[in-house]
Amino acid sequence: MGRRSIDFVFLADRQDVIPLIAGWHFEQWGHLTTASIDDIYARMREAANLDKIPLLVLAVIGEEIVGTAELKYREMTIYPDKEHWIGGVFVPPAHRGKGIGSRLANRTADIARSLGVTTLHLQTERLDGGLYARLGWEPSEQVNYRGLDVLVMQRQLSPNA
């Protein structure tokens, strides 16, 4: 059986999946915040953009949503000078290990570049950088943020040729 191709679409084009995506985010990260599921729904609606930040990218195989990533502003309040972030990278367990997270991160960086972003940041609980280190992200600093030890990383985006 051959591999099916992954397509990338914006949440703006598939707002019908907001409940699914909000549920994933709430399950994965809800315990780290005081945000309710309704707050996450509202954040998803705010990220339903095509050409401005914040925006949310979906990885799709056929009709199935197999991952998400967000392009957002100032994810970590302790870094007001770090403007553009990738976050909310999530692939459901059944689809992990297939390179979807890597492709999502790269596609989201490409979108950021197309919007004029030159430096993109992220935070990960993988203190070795995990897949982001393999994708060429550089570690900036390890900090404890909201009770979690995280590695802050950055990637320089060259302007479009």
Q: Give tens-digit pLDDT for 145-158.
A: 988 899 999 999 98
Residue-wise pLDDT for 85-101, tens only, equals 999 899 999 999 999 99
Regions of the chain with pLDDT less than 50: 1-2, 161
Return the CATH fold of 7-114.
Aminopeptidase (3.40.630)
CA torsion sign, 29 to 69 to 121 to 55? negative
**What pLDDT is recorded for position 92?**
93
pTM above 0.85, yes or no: yes
**What pLDDT is recorded for position 36?**
82
Cβ–Cβ < 8 Å for 56, 70: yes
Cβ–Cβ < 8 Å for 116, 157: no
**What pLDDT is recorded for position 37?**
83
DSSP state of 159: P
For the chain, what are the domain ranges?
7-114
